[in-house]
Structure 1
Amino acid sequence: MTATPPDIGIIMGSQSDWATMCHASEVLAALHIAHETRIVSAHRTPERLFDYARTAKDRGLKVIIAGAGGAAHLPGMAASMTILPVLGV
């Protein structure tokens, strides 16, 4: 059995953001929408963020949901590197 490629990417700045971002994952799972979750910090792992955002469309993602506590750097930086819609949380 082959897994369905994700349509939506959920990214967060750190593991502590999962308490907020898990709700998006739960809703998508309930709707049977394929998605992935990743920790990509705009501050601690900027190269990982750049790679994630720049390759998102080619990997088949259609939307990115980005959230990080304290500041809006993660969604803003992700949006600057992709033509996909980025929803900031």
Structure 2
Amino acid sequence: MLRRVRRAIDRARLADPRYAFLFDDAPPDEVVAVDCETTGLDPRKNEIITIAATRIRGERILTSERFEARRLYRVSRLAVNWHQNVLRSC
């Protein structure tokens, strides 16, 4: 109950009505998988370079309804080598 009240308050405060749909109830059989790629594991000095999201309905992954945002970032050769070595050792 408290969650519904909080959601109603947040929706009323919304400055741009185009985003009101974000406060609608989600379908019960639907989730969104989110993935972030970073330049490293330290949040103080590393950056997010890719964010991706895909909708999953029931047992189906809806690849036609995906989102991906990339930041142009120059990757060092050392980082590429490190990732390749980690993948080889798995």
TM range (shorter): under 0.3
The higher-RCO structure (CA 8 Å, 6+ apart) is 1
Query: What is the TM-score of this pair, normalised by structure 2?
Result: 0.27
Query: What is the TM-score of this pair, normalised by structure 1?
Result: 0.27
* More strand by percentage: 2
